[in-house]
Structure 1
Amino acid sequence: MLTSTNQLGFPRRVVALYLLFCLSAVLLLSTGAVMAVDSLLKAQAAGDALSQVGRLAAAIEIDLVTTGGEKTQALVENARKEGRLTWCAVVAPDGRYLAHSDPTLLGAIEIEPIGSQLRWGAIDGVRYSDENGLIVNAYRAPLSTNNEPVGSLVMAVAVPGWKGVVKNLAEHAPLAIVGPLGVILLGGWWLRRTTRPLADIERGLSAIARQPYDDSPRCEAIAPSSLAAIGWNRIAQAMPSNLVDQSDEATQAKLRVLAGNAGGKQRAAIESLSEGIAITDAEGRIDFANRAVAALLGSDDEIEGVSIDELLAGLASTKENPLAGSSRDAEVVSELQVATGSGDRMLRLARAPLGGDASTGHVWSLRDITQQKLTDASRDQFIDTATHELRTPLANIKAYAETLAMGDMIDIEEQKEFCNTINAEATRLARFVDDLLSISSLEVGSLGIQRTTVDVRRLLDEAADKIRPTIKQRGMTFEVKLSEKLGEARLDKDKVSGMVVNLLGNAAKYTPEGGTVTLTAVREDEQLKIEVRDTGVGIAADEAEKVFEKFFRSANPAVQDQVGTGLGLPLAREIARLHRGELTLASKLGEGCTFTALLPLQ
């Protein structure tokens, strides 16, 4: 005979393990969130700094050429304020500070910090700890005018540390922790309530285990609150030594109710599936089909009792059942193209013997894979386009670089032409990679904007200047009509400029020689209205919205003849929406397109 031991009850053990694993998951998620945020902030700080180094270096070189460096100090101070830098300076070749965000250090000798070395292309750097214990990345870019070195630009950016990340996360920690803990406790209460019948059964089995071995097992009935409890009571009734009344009508009634409810829930679950499920008899007639089967096959009639082979053959474009020639004893998967009023759809069919025995019937599943097929086609088209976009510039760069390296008799003008070609192809590659990175950020929701006060007219003039050589080369007319009252607006200058350049580039690409590209901008009701209009090939009405989908290319042969990735317009629309605006299209095939961007000025 077994004796009683002090142990936790079954529900308490289950709840304790549940809480242990849940709290472990919360701890791991919190740690992962801190690490992810720390990595993201460091990557963002490095990317922003590298981007700003290039722009500031170019501005300082221009200032050195045009004014002899009169504005260099102002450029450095503004860069520190706007770029949230630790400090910024211009160092002469002899090591003196020509400009510094701290004016008291002008003319002083630079003391280079000691730390780990960094490098990004032509930009060097060092990572060190300052006197306040902050980790700082100091980036150094060479400055030159007329191919003569004039010094270097040094830009220091504080890298977010663990303490700062944890401090920022701590502000939101109460809501982020209390909510999940509340859900965990609620789940523990519900789990304990659900396992209560199992605890009663465990106590009954423990009581039987403690009874003498020479006695007939005796067990008590428990409250019939679940199917498991009712099953226990039936076992108790079947024991000769039990005291439960065999004619317990209440227990039998409860059993019938719960069994009926369980069957109803199973059928309701199958009916609610988006995937079609059907069961056929040995002759192929449908015994059961959920609502999704009729919807996927486009049938409004009652299909139970209908031969599924005839139904599939009538819907297939070949008028043949795609599974007709397969063995009925094997599991088979095939695809079926179905013509509907909204276009062709692709279905995936799967058939398997019911219970492993084909003589009892088959179970079928139908799934709409139209979107998956379209996605695969778009992906394949993008891979082809991306391969061309990468291979062509690289081939040109390699050819011109080899010619420069091996040609001893090339004159200066040809060398300049070759270098310009290499630079243009490298710029094309960089633009393509930037589009890919922007689309990737868009998909994960991390693409954002940084609003600054900008002169709208100057922004649009600079965007027009970037595309003007291309339009001139293609023999087209370029009209720029900008209102005198555009004023200033809080916009992300780089992204809005990129959007306009993208729209102008598309207009130039798809407008034939002798055509016209027009850029207009006006200020209307606290909105900036930018229009890019062309007299090119235009876009068909059924493709007007699709052009804003990633990787989409028009089926028009005039469009297919031009190289493109299908990324520019989706990215342009997203930039407009990030500014709480919109980008729309008005077009007629053969007459041209008009893209209109409406951006709120506040």
Structure 2
Amino acid sequence: MKKANNSKTAGLGRNDSLIAPVTVAATAVTLCAMAATALWVFRLENRSAARARLRQVDAIGTVLAFSAETMLADEELSPLRSLVCLAARDYDLTSCRVVLPDNQVVADSRLAEINTQRLPAQWESASMDLPGPPGQDEIVHRYTLHVPGRGPARLEITACAPQAAASLWEAEAGVGAISVISLLFLLGTTRRLRARSRLFGALRQCLLAAGHGERSRAVLGIQEELGPEASVWNKLLAELEQRQQARVLEQAGRPADGDGASLADQACGSLADGLIVLDGQSFVRYANPAAAALLRLAGPSPAGRRMSELLDSAPLADAVRDVTSRPPGPATVVEHQDANRGWLRITVRRLAGAAQPAICLFIEDITQQRASEKARCEFISQVAHELRTPLTNIRLSVEVATEDHADPVEAARSMDVISRESSRLARMIDEMLSAAQIETGTLCLNRDAVKVDELLREMEADFAAQAADKGLRFHLELPVKCPQIQADKAKLTLAVHNLVGNALKYTPSGGQVKVVLEVNTGDLQVAVTDSGIGIASEEQARVFDRFYRSADPRVGRLTGTGLGLTLVRDVIRLHGGDIEVRSELDRGSTFLVRLPLPKEAA
């Protein structure tokens, strides 16, 4: 014990000795970084100010040059001299003057430099002497002036480059203030770290001792005056010791492995649902493999851990406490959902006849059930919307057709709408009944001789008005000769109507829909091609799934049940054929149906 305490004290001393150099190094790095930052900011500010001054002087010169040309042409020397003086004063110019050839100064911000009081009627384009090169802190711009009918002149502007001395002093003062504040903060942090390092050092020594096999609470305990964490650590050690003792007692009282215990373990381990047994303190005593899989637990058995460590659920914790506090009785059901585990239904029941409180948790994965319920609700909503549209059209058409003195043309058109929408309702009801039969496995085919070309002609007549109303080009291509096939005409018609109806629905006005029938060796091929919105490549594998609808917002704006293509695929496969989709987003889609031919026709 004395040796362990000495090792802890040595560990604390090493931690304290490390804090001082780390703090000094951190302070030095921080100060250097601040100084470098201030120098860099100063250089950037100096360059920015110089560029801004150059742009300002150039803009002033451009405006003055234009004004000077105009005033020289009009011989307005007084306004020109006033303008030059005002520009030099307002924009802090060292000098600003207008010079004629032979160095005649007609305007200057320094009035004493003017040596020409009147403007000559005309002057020669003689060379003009240029002043010497500008100083290091000067900006010099020269502009050639063209005075119509007189000759050239020159505008000279000299300005001082910006000085950033004040900015440098402010940056240095700011860096100094920040450095002092940072130093004070680091000193305060150092004192706090030294106090906390004693606790962390003690914890580190305890963990190292535990790693070498030490289990005595007297050795692994730490002084509680080091902080509240020390008290928590000591309580954890006490709790661990109690759990170890309880486990020893439990193992001592358990009979040797026999056939009964082995069969019970095997039976619980083979359950598809999860099973967890808790004691009165909510510690796990048993968990079968299904429970570990449903809770996404990795590593060793969860036995000995608290249930809250396996699944953080406040309703479950409340249910366990409630069931533990009362005699055995009805079970309590809790549902839990998260992104990792999905939906879980947990039944909490207290075991009757146990010497100590024992709680059984039966865990069932209901993620798929929830998804089906959601899809079913969405399906009912979509079906209600789908049914409302044709019923509304029928009601309005009936009102028009039964009005007194109704126009015969309008009445005939209304009857046509009633007929078309009634057929649409019948197809929708057939589709829903067929989908239900497919789901229950009771869909049967009433096969008979079917001429697919005639079926497609009837389909063309059914959809011609809809295509014309939407402004689509609807085209049907049939072979010269088409053999009959053995098929259920009603189911096949339903499948074709779904494909063509989708093509018309998802093709914008001005597009085209084409249906092509081809006779190949051994099969018939029906291709429904449109120039519509297309299907994204990542969604093409899912378009035949039940209740699936594309995430494309253009699809969401149109009604649909998500069952049509599922029904098409199942009907085609019941006939021994298959269907595939080829599509490109915003370019259109092609659904290709293949139906087998009778051997004598093939």
Pairs within 5 Å for 1:424-435: 424-435=420-431
Q: What is the CA-CA distance between 1:261 and the residue it aligns to?
A: 2.4
Measured in 2, the distance between the counterparts of 1:264 and 1:381 equals 48
Normalised by the size of structure 2, how large is the TM-score? 0.52
Residues 484/366 of structure 1: CA separation in 2 closer, same or farther (3 Å cut)? same
Is this contact kept in 2: 1:310–1:321, CA < 8 A?
A: no
2:299 maps to: 301
Measured in 1, the distance between the counterparts of 2:436 and 2:532 equals 30
1:312 maps to: 311
Q: What is the CA-CA distance between 1:505 and the residue it aligns to?
A: 0.7
Q: 1:392 aligns with which of 386, 389, 393?
A: 389
1:329 maps to: 322
* Structure showing greater Rg: 2
Measured in 2, the distance between the counterparts of 1:359 and 1:377 equals 42
2:473 maps to: 477
1:379 maps to: 376
Letter paired with 2:445 = I
Secondary structure of the 1:328 match is: helix
Measured in 2, the distance between the counterparts of 1:541 and 1:336 equals 35
1:273 matched to 2:266: no
Measured in 2, the distance between the counterparts of 1:502 and 1:569 equals 7
Is this contact kept in 2: 1:477–1:516, CA < 8 A?
A: yes
Q: Once the two structures are superposed, what CA deviation does each residue of 1:80-124 show, in whole Å capped at 9, x if it has no partner?
A: xxxxxxxxxxxxxxxxxxxxxxxxxxxxxxxxxxxxxxxxxxxxx
Letter paired with 2:311 = L
Measured in 1, the distance between the counterparts of 2:503 and 2:439 equals 26
Measured in 1, the distance between the counterparts of 2:298 and 2:505 equals 49
Letter paired with 1:292 = A
Pairs within 5 Å for 1:93-492: 260-302=258-300, 303-313=302-312, 321-326=314-319, 328-330=321-323, 331-340=331-340, 345-355=342-352, 360-405=357-402, 407-484=403-480, 486-492=482-488
Q: Once the two structures are superposed, what CA deviation does each residue of 1:318-350 show, in whole Å capped at 9, x if it has no partner?
A: xx544234461335422222334xxx6211122
Is this contact kept in 1: 2:320–2:348, CA < 8 A?
A: no
Letter paired with 2:265 = R
Letter paired with 1:295 = A
Is this contact kept in 2: 1:455–1:489, CA < 8 A?
A: yes
Is this contact kept in 1: 2:581–2:589, CA < 8 A?
A: yes
Residues 498/391 of structure 1: CA separation in 2 closer, same or farther (3 Å cut)? closer
Measured in 2, the distance between the counterparts of 1:404 and 1:493 equals 33
Is this contact kept in 2: 1:328–1:358, CA < 8 A?
A: no
Measured in 1, the distance between the counterparts of 2:546 and 2:579 equals 15
1:498 matched to 2:498: no
Q: What is the CA-CA distance between 1:312 and the residue it aligns to?
A: 0.9
Q: Once the two structures are superposed, what CA deviation does each residue of 1:402-425 show, in whole Å capped at 9, x if it has no partner?
A: 4444x3232111212222222222
Measured in 2, the distance between the counterparts of 1:547 and 1:409 equals 50
Pairs within 5 Å for 1:514-525: 514-525=510-521
Q: Once the two structures are superposed, what CA deviation does each residue of 1:38-66 show, in whole Å capped at 9, x if it has no partner?
A: xxxxxxxxxxxxxxxxxxxxxxxxxxxxx
2:571 maps to: 575
Residues 585/362 of structure 1: CA separation in 2 closer, same or farther (3 Å cut)? same
Residues 577/543 of structure 1: CA separation in 2 closer, same or farther (3 Å cut)? same
Residues 329/358 of structure 1: CA separation in 2 closer, same or farther (3 Å cut)? farther
Normalised by the size of structure 1, how large is the TM-score? 0.52
Q: What is the CA-CA distance between 1:368 and the residue it aligns to?
A: 0.8
Letter paired with 1:260 = G
2:192 maps to: none
Measured in 2, the distance between the counterparts of 1:404 and 1:489 equals 42
Secondary structure of the 1:352 match is: strand
Measured in 2, the distance between the counterparts of 1:345 and 1:390 equals 34
Secondary structure of the 2:430 match is: helix
Is this contact kept in 1: 2:518–2:524, CA < 8 A?
A: yes
Measured in 2, the distance between the counterparts of 1:339 and 1:349 equals 17
Residues 358/425 of structure 1: CA separation in 2 closer, same or farther (3 Å cut)? farther
Residues 468/398 of structure 1: CA separation in 2 closer, same or farther (3 Å cut)? closer
Measured in 2, the distance between the counterparts of 1:426 and 1:461 equals 20
Letter paired with 2:381 = D
Is this contact kept in 1: 2:498–2:565, CA < 8 A?
A: yes
Measured in 1, the distance between the counterparts of 2:321 and 2:270 equals 28
Note the residue ranges of structure 1 that are not aligned, 5 or more in a row: 1-255, 314-319
Is this contact kept in 1: 2:400–2:411, CA < 8 A?
A: no
Residues 470/335 of structure 1: CA separation in 2 closer, same or farther (3 Å cut)? same
Q: 2:552 aligns with which of 543, 550, 556?
A: 556
Q: What is the CA-CA distance between 1:278 and the residue it aligns to?
A: 0.6
Letter paired with 1:307 = R
Residues 449/429 of structure 1: CA separation in 2 closer, same or farther (3 Å cut)? same
Q: What is the CA-CA distance between 1:494 and the residue it aligns to?
A: 3.3
Residues 358/336 of structure 1: CA separation in 2 closer, same or farther (3 Å cut)? farther
- Let me know the Cα RMSD of the aligned residues: 2.7
Residues 272/589 of structure 1: CA separation in 2 closer, same or farther (3 Å cut)? farther
Is this contact kept in 2: 1:323–1:332, CA < 8 A?
A: no
Q: What is the CA-CA distance between 1:274 and the residue it aligns to?
A: 1.1
Is this contact kept in 1: 2:297–2:310, CA < 8 A?
A: no
Q: What is the CA-CA distance between 1:542 and the residue it aligns to?
A: 4.5
Q: Once the two structures are superposed, what CA deviation does each residue of 1:511-563 show, in whole Å capped at 9, x if it has no partner?
A: 11122222222223301122112222223444434432333333332222222
Residues 327/271 of structure 1: CA separation in 2 closer, same or farther (3 Å cut)? closer
Residues 352/549 of structure 1: CA separation in 2 closer, same or farther (3 Å cut)? same
Note the residue ranges of structure 2 that are not aligned, 5 or more in a row: 1-254, 324-330
Is this contact kept in 2: 1:282–1:359, CA < 8 A?
A: yes
Is this contact kept in 2: 1:329–1:357, CA < 8 A?
A: no
Residues 453/391 of structure 1: CA separation in 2 closer, same or farther (3 Å cut)? closer
Measured in 2, the distance between the counterparts of 1:534 and 1:359 equals 71
Residues 281/268 of structure 1: CA separation in 2 closer, same or farther (3 Å cut)? same
Count of aligned residue pairs for this structure pair: 336
Q: Once the two structures are superposed, what CA deviation does each residue of 1:345-388 show, in whole Å capped at 9, x if it has no partner?
A: 21112223343889623211211101111111111112112222
Measured in 1, the distance between the counterparts of 2:396 and 2:518 equals 46
Measured in 1, the distance between the counterparts of 2:521 and 2:353 equals 71
Is this contact kept in 2: 1:382–1:565, CA < 8 A?
A: yes
Residues 398/473 of structure 1: CA separation in 2 closer, same or farther (3 Å cut)? closer
Residues 460/396 of structure 1: CA separation in 2 closer, same or farther (3 Å cut)? closer
Q: What is the CA-CA distance between 1:500 and the residue it aligns to?
A: 1.6
1:512 matched to 2:508: yes
Stretches (4+) displaced over 4 A: 356-359
Measured in 1, the distance between the counterparts of 2:451 and 2:349 equals 68
Residues 412/485 of structure 1: CA separation in 2 closer, same or farther (3 Å cut)? closer
Residues 358/322 of structure 1: CA separation in 2 closer, same or farther (3 Å cut)? farther
